[in-house]
Amino acid sequence: MNLNTSTIPAAIGAAFGGGFYAGRINVDGVAFALIVSPKTFGEFKGRWSPNDDNVPGAEHYADGMANTEAMAGAGSVLAAKVLQLDIGGLADWYIPSRDELELIYRNLKPSDDENSESFRSGDNPSSSPVGFPYTEALPAQTTVDAFQEGGNEALEPFWHWSSTQYAAVPSYAWIQFFDDGSQGYTLKSYEGRARAVRRLKI
């Protein structure tokens, strides 16, 4: 299904597409509406992969679906669980890519903590509009009550897996912290959180 721009919610965090609207992401020049799953059904814990081996096809910064399929094909239990997720008859969920995960933090930041200004925090060439480095105060805490810290849909203030392998050192994958917004990478065999998403073409 393709969306007209008039059918996309005006408000970030609005109920939409089986979850909640998180913003726009561009994948290979195509625009999509990004949707965060309900926490009750779409939050998982697990290892990115059972080992730290290279996973060809999981290097996309914007295409989380392609990454997640590559992960599952390489034996990731976490990826397989997310791909098997069915919420209200919708079964196209996946683990967000590095840039998709940053967009979720920027638009649905759970706390009023200061943002990280180090490394590449906020830098996002795939989002629409393009994301630029954070300041201490921007992005601000989301105004969506359910996604504020302690809310029913809030992302926990810990790091979350992206589905993007760290190209320079393939034994690592990108992660996003939901306390200060910093991004980094860690060994894929560590256990962490993941929040499923889906997308709809605009």
pLDDT tens digits along 29-50: 999 999 999 999 999 999 999 9
Q: What is the pLDDT of residue 192?
A: 97
pLDDT at residue 1 is higher than 70: no
pLDDT tens readout for residues 167-202: 999 999 999 999 999 999 999 999 999 999 999 999
* Average pLDDT value for the chain: 96
Query: What is the mean predicted confidence (pLDDT) over 148-166?
Result: 97
pLDDT tens readout for residues 96-115: 999 999 999 999 999 999 99
Q: What percent of the chain has pLDDT over 90?
A: 94
Instruction: Report the distance separating Cα 7 and Cα 134, nearest Å.
Output: 30
pLDDT at residue 5 is higher than 90: no
Instruction: Kindly state the DSSP code that residue 62 receives in the 8-state scheme.
Output: S
| Sequence ranges of the domains in the chain | 5-201
The answer to whether 175 and 166 have CB atoms below 8 angstroms apart is no
Q: How far is CA 184 from CA 6, 13, 88, 149, 198, in A?
A: 36, 25, 33, 22, 23
Give one word for 140, left, alpha or beta, with left for phi > 0 and alpha for psi -120 to 50.
beta
